[in-house]
Chains A and B, each alone.
Chain A
Amino acid sequence: VSGDERLYVVVDCGSTTTKALLIGRRGERFRALARSEAPTTVEAPQEDVTVGVRSALAELERRAGFPLVPWPDGVAPSEPAVAAGGRATLLATSSAAGGLQMTVVGLVRGLTLASGERAALGAGALVGELVAFNDPDSPLERIARLRRSQPDAVLLCGGTDGGKTPQVLALAELIAAADLRSRHATREPVPVIYAGNATLRDAVATVFSDREPPLFVANVRPELERENLAPTRDRIHEVFLHNVMTQAPGYAALQQRCAAPPLPTPAAFASALELLVGEEDAEVLAVDVGGATTDVYTAGPAGVHRSVSANLGLSFSVGNVCQAAGWERIARWLTVPIADEELRNAIRNKMIRPTTVPATASDLQIEQAVVREALRLALDHHVATRPDLRGLRPAEPATARLGRSAPAPRIDWRRIGLVVGSGGPLAHAPQPVQAGLMLIDGLRPRGITSLAMDEQFLFPHLGVLATVDREAARQVLFADSLVPLGVVAAPLTDRGGRDGTELFSYVLRPRDRDGGVRRGEVRRGELVALPLATGERAQLELRPSGPRDLGAGTGVEVQALVLGGPVGVLLDGRDPDLGWPRPRLSWREDLKRWQAAVGVEREVDA
């Protein structure tokens, strides 16, 4: 550490592990200098998050060799740690104690409720329950749903400003009747944020007259055609800091020592994506495969959009992925025959012992099969929650689509330049190429798309760091966090046809060395892998055969500068839906062929 003395300690309090990261200068650049971990201590017996934070800090200080954040026993400093004489600035993110759990109540599922959900997800909340006025269930059932969801906060929205919508009051009465209380020991009333028709505020306040008054914020959908999410998002952050974090044991003390307000982990992740997009024109698609949920983010110049597929996770909720996808679809990813009963038992064993890791090739195949399907389902869900991806023209009024079927939602891969994978099952894949294949098989990127991993799960740390030192966060992001995997290319449109039909031809010219030019054709049903080592650059030229679109229009040649990685350059001639449904036997042969093409070793123990 020299010259610039800026040092940052960022702690991410996860539901099981608290991870601390020390960031400071090494030479000219900011780098991740040291890391440490300790079990999270929000639950009994400790019931104090700072116990885990302090043990992670102690370990970090031991590795750094000097004191970072002074934390005298029993003294609650009123100033942030830096002012108290410590060397490092402390920052924090948290998803412990379940993160920020919200329930959203609105008038119409497709309109105000969807806007409210987007605002809540954008604020990093886990949206547990959606209650709409036009839901078919009875008020009784809706109250039961509200109570079951055990939210930390409720968002009520509905009606355009000035609209005549007494139904919103009925929803307010529903929330008041449910009499929601904090899931923490304090049993405080759950805060209600009202982001609906502004002219009804007084009437809403009357409904809550004998309870905690609602928090009023600008309408999330002031007009039918216009959303205004930012004020609600900010208000949710405030609620997270003042109501939720202060009730979870130990958080008040942690908050006092931080130099900036702690962020919910997903909000910090989104902040890191904004950093990654920077001034680029392209969009980034990021996926975070977790134990309980799979989060999908799309980030571009217009901001970050996040969707959370609750219960599409790889541990506690692994069974849900299998049921949602269908057991057949999980089984199709296995190159070894595994009896149905054996597959089901293996999945349930993972569910009841979520911390186990695959130790055999067949268990690994099962886990990676589930990841593929979780990614596929989570991307579908993401597209469904993004109105601009539903094939609608921006100018088209929302009312015009009522009463007729919308075109099938799809993601516009021409806008996505990079896919980033995150989360244990991707990060811990024994071979990086397996992580690349899971991303490609699960998300089916089209056009030319780069692939990368947030291997150490540093995005949340860097996201909160960006709120106080953007440049330091940016430097660490590219130096220590983002690991390039390679590139995948596939036609955007493929009208179908027989396997073996030529789809496009390619030329790959290495930029940093002479020779080594690769040329060839990609046929339907094929997966062609061209090695391109990490750090190597090459010019990729693709020419469609026939009326196909590779990203620049039908029949138009595309060129791109690509960066190598363990996956190299993958040219994907397979069906967008991989030919599902398809007989299992011929499929298995194809699967083996594709995996051999990319060099995945699949020697399976008996």
Chain B
Amino acid sequence: VTGGHPTLLAAAGVRIVRRRRLPAAGDVLVAVGERVAPDRIVARARPPGAMVPVNVAYELDIAPSEVPDAVVVPLGAEVARGAPLARTAGLWGLLRSYCYAPVTGVVRDVSASSGQVVIEATVPAVELTALIAGTVIGVEPGRGVDVCGRATLVQGVLGVGGEVSGRLVAAVARPEDLLSAELIGPELGGCVVLGGASITGAALHRAREIGVAAVITGGIDDTDLTDHLGRELNVAVTGQEDVRPAVVVTGGFGRVGQDPHAFDLLRRRAGELASVRAATRIRAGAERPEVIVSESDPTDGPADSALASGIDGDIRAGGDGGLSLGRRVRIVAAPFRGRIGQVVELSQRPHAFAEVGTLPAVVVALPGEQRAIVPRANVELLAGSSGGAGSADEADEADASGAQDVPPSARRPREEV
């Protein structure tokens, strides 16, 4: 989070705005004021394909100047992947060599100076869903829409697998429970599964087998995630992984209990359709994964203009005061890693931590009269409300429109064509 203290949001009944944008120019299929469901296609694009040069002169071992005569597909015509693109004169087909098109596309250029043929690759259409139930409050012609609606929103710290949706099911009873393989039955296929403090490797394997859409877990062991992804996750930029279930981690690596508040919010919405954005960008323009359960029948009108223009609500920014007395926080580094408590003291003077030096500190009251003195950098604000009138100290509006939404189908293809 640029500027403010790192904050995770968990709130019900919040008005949220989602900025939905195509990765390339296309058509917007809805109008301002229109009501949309989470799975409604709101925009569609057929992005221009990459220009793919084929070195025909080299492939056929001919001079560049001979290339125009060797090309068998007219300029502007389509050629299928693997079909002949050019051929040498040969001797009635004997000793004739061919150059085949590496991609399906349209021949855009034939160069007699470099001996290359350029094909504009054909790309499948990209479709963008509304992600949340609500009202279209803005349209950027050709690019996308802004959708506003009320929802339960829970943010995580790391997500892999991109966007997915499914029926929300709580597979464990308590936020500190372990999600084991026995708890994952075939009825969870296609569902968004709410877990507890960790998920076992076997449970993840089972979830994959039966086609679970997404798993929400407090913690996960690195070896299990590595196994799931088929590679080590070395840089915290995610969302492009081609894996199911998608995984949203709300606490961190290891065994970390879910925030009971967030856990309860989601559990209350069990049985409903949940949208999961399992994407993370920790560097500039921080983006955290999120679970959204839209309110099926929002009674409110469109959001006000401040929200629509993308100004952060208090909840997202962690309030103006950021880290302040009384705030709920999660400690995110040893020795109290994962513990949740309340800020009771913000010492003006840095605290001398044995072994690690003198650092600005915060005192956190933990359940059971325990108090922890930890570096300020090692706490994360937990912001949110439980919905309903006057139920929380923060405003009940949030806007996470800063993150540009990318639909699963718009994910950058492995080979960009």
Instruction: Select A349's contact among B3, B52, B253, B280, beta carbons within 8 Å.
Output: B253
A399 within 8 A of B: no
B35 within 8 A of A: no
27 pairs from A and B in contact (CB 8 Å cutoff): A39-B4, A41-B3, A44-B285, A138-B102, A140-B102, A143-B416, A166-B114, A170-B55, A317-B235, A323-B232, A341-B221, A341-B222, A345-B222, A348-B225, A349-B254, A351-B236, A352-B282, A353-B333, A353-B380, A355-B377, A357-B377, A359-B353, A359-B359, A360-B335, A430-B357, A604-B355, A605-B354
Task: Give the chain B neighbours of A292 by CB distance below 8 A.
Answer: 283
Taking the closest CB of chain B, its distance from the CB of A15, in whole angstroms, is 6
Knowing A353-B332, A357-B333, the reply to whether A147 touches B50 (Cβ < 8 A) is yes
B205 within 8 A of A: no
Interface residues of B in 93-129 (CB under 8 A from A): 102-103, 111, 113-114, 116, 118, 121
Instruction: Select A139's contact among B2, B55, B232, B378, beta carbons within 8 Å.
Output: B55
CB of B53 within 8 A of CB of A173, answer yes
**Which 10 interchain pairs have the tightest Cβ spacing?**
A177-B51, A430-B357, A319-B234, A39-B3, A345-B253, A144-B416, A344-B222, A348-B253, A345-B254, A44-B402
Task: Give the chain B neighbours of A317 by CB distance below 8 A.
Answer: 234-235
A47 CA to B234 CA, complexed, in Å: 28
CB of A359 within 8 A of CB of B334, answer yes
Task: Give the chain B neighbours of A430 by CB distance below 8 A.
Answer: 355-357
Closest residue of B by beta carbon distance from A143? B50
CB of B2 within 8 A of CB of A148, answer no
CB of A140 within 8 A of CB of B380, answer no
Taking the closest CB of chain A, its distance from the CB of B73, in whole angstroms, is 17
Knowing A45-B311, A345-B222, A605-B335, the reply to whether A170 touches B234 (Cβ < 8 A) is no
CB of A316 within 8 A of CB of B50, answer no
Interface residues of A in 144-188 (CB under 8 A from B): 144, 147-148, 166, 169-170, 173-174, 176-179
Task: Give the chain B neighbours of A311 by CB distance below 8 A.
Answer: 234-235
Binding site for B on A (CB under 8 A): 15-16, 39-46, 96-98, 138-141, 143-144, 147-148, 166, 169-170, 173-174, 176-179, 203, 206, 292, 311, 316-317, 319-320, 322-323, 341-342, 344-349, 351-364, 428-430, 601, 603-605
Closest residue of A by beta carbon distance from B316? A45
Interface residues of B in 314-357 (CB under 8 A from A): 332-335, 337, 353-357
CB of A97 within 8 A of CB of B284, answer yes
A323 CA to B51 CA, complexed, in Å: 35
Taking the closest CB of chain A, its distance from the CB of B248, in whole angstroms, is 12
Closest residue of B by beta carbon distance from A45? B312
A-B contact sample (17 more), CB < 8 A, given A147-B416, A292-B283: A39-B3, A41-B2, A41-B3, A44-B2, A96-B284, A169-B114, A173-B53, A177-B52, A178-B51, A316-B283, A319-B235, A323-B232, A353-B252, A356-B378, A359-B359, A360-B334, A605-B335
Taking the closest CB of chain A, its distance from the CB of B212, in whole angstroms, is 22
CB of A44 within 8 A of CB of B253, answer no
B233 within 8 A of A: yes
A319 CA to B234 CA, complexed, in Å: 4
Instruction: Select B355's contact among A138, A148, A169, A603, beta carbons within 8 Å.
Output: A603
A363 CA to B333 CA, complexed, in Å: 9
B410 within 8 A of A: no
Task: Give the chain A neighbours of B280 by CB distance below 8 A.
Answer: 352
A98 CA to B284 CA, complexed, in Å: 8
Closest residue of A by beta carbon distance from B335? A360
CB of A177 within 8 A of CB of B118, answer yes
CB of B235 within 8 A of CB of A320, answer yes
Taking the closest CB of chain B, its distance from the CB of A56, in whole angstroms, is 12
Task: Give the chain B neighbours of A354 by CB distance below 8 A.
Answer: 236, 282
Closest residue of A by beta carbon distance from B102? A140
Task: Give the chain B neighbours of A347 by CB distance below 8 A.
Answer: 222
A148 CA to B412 CA, complexed, in Å: 9
Task: Give the chain B neighbours of A344 by CB distance below 8 A.
Answer: 221-223, 253
Closest residue of B by beta carbon distance from A315? B282
CB of A357 within 8 A of CB of B375, answer yes
Give chain B's interface residue range (CB within 8 Å of chain A): 35 or more
CB of A177 within 8 A of CB of B252, answer no
Taking the closest CB of chain B, its distance from the CB of A549, in whole angstroms, is 39
Task: Give the chain B neighbours of A351 by CB distance below 8 A.
Answer: 233-236, 282
CB of A173 within 8 A of CB of B116, answer yes
Instruction: Select A144's contact among B53, B282, B283, B415, beta carbons within 8 Å.
Output: B415
Taking the closest CB of chain B, its distance from the CB of A365, in whole angstroms, is 10
Instruction: Select B335's contact among A144, A316, A359, beta carbons within 8 Å.
Output: A359
Instruction: Select B282's contact among A141, A166, A316, beta carbons within 8 Å.
Output: A316
Task: Give the chain B neighbours of A355 by CB distance below 8 A.
Answer: 6, 377
Task: Give the chain B neighbours of A352 by CB distance below 8 A.
Answer: 157-158, 236, 249, 252-253, 280, 282
A354 CA to B281 CA, complexed, in Å: 12
CB of A356 within 8 A of CB of B332, answer yes
B310 within 8 A of A: yes
Knowing A147-B50, A345-B222, A363-B333, the reply to whether A353 touches B157 (Cβ < 8 A) is yes
Closest residue of A by beta carbon distance from B361? A359
CB of A141 within 8 A of CB of B3, answer no
Knowing A177-B53, A430-B355, the reply to whether A170 touches B254 (Cβ < 8 A) is no
Taking the closest CB of chain A, its distance from the CB of B258, in whole angstroms, is 16
A462 CA to B50 CA, complexed, in Å: 45
Which of B2, B54, B118 is packed against the most chain A CB atoms within 10 Å? B2
A358 CA to B353 CA, complexed, in Å: 10
A361 CA to B334 CA, complexed, in Å: 10
B417 within 8 A of A: yes
CB of B334 within 8 A of CB of A363, answer yes
A40 CA to B1 CA, complexed, in Å: 11
Task: Give the chain A neighbours of B225 by CB distance below 8 A.
Answer: 348
Closest residue of A by beta carbon distance from B255? A345
B291 within 8 A of A: no
Taking the closest CB of chain B, its distance from the CB of A55, in whole angstroms, is 10
Closest residue of B by beta carbon distance from A340? B223
A430 CA to B283 CA, complexed, in Å: 26
Closest residue of B by beta carbon distance from A367? B356
CB of A349 within 8 A of CB of B333, answer yes
Knowing A170-B114, A352-B158, the reply to whether A16 touches B50 (Cβ < 8 A) is no
B191 within 8 A of A: no
CB of B355 within 8 A of CB of A361, answer yes
Taking the closest CB of chain A, its distance from the CB of B213, in whole angstroms, is 22
CB of B55 within 8 A of CB of A316, answer no
B153 within 8 A of A: no
B374 within 8 A of A: yes
Task: Give the chain B neighbours of A177 by CB distance below 8 A.
Answer: 50-53, 118
CB of B6 within 8 A of CB of A353, answer yes
CB of A341 within 8 A of CB of B223, answer yes
Taking the closest CB of chain B, its distance from the CB of A320, in whole angstroms, is 4
Which of B284, B285, B356 is packed against the most chain A CB atoms within 10 Å? B356
Which of A15, A292, A347, A349 is packed against the most chain B CB atoms within 10 Å? A349
CB of A358 within 8 A of CB of B223, answer no
A139 CA to B103 CA, complexed, in Å: 11
CB of A323 within 8 A of CB of B378, answer no
Task: Give the chain B neighbours of A364 by CB distance below 8 A.
Answer: 355-356
Taking the closest CB of chain A, its distance from the CB of B417, in whole angstroms, is 7
Knowing A169-B114, A341-B223, the reply to whether A143 touches B102 (Cβ < 8 A) is no
CB of A16 within 8 A of CB of B2, answer yes
Which of A311, A322, A360 is packed against the most chain B CB atoms within 10 Å? A360
Task: Give the chain B neighbours of A323 by CB distance below 8 A.
Answer: 232, 234
Task: Give the chain B neighbours of A203 by CB distance below 8 A.
Answer: 113
CB of A319 within 8 A of CB of B6, answer no
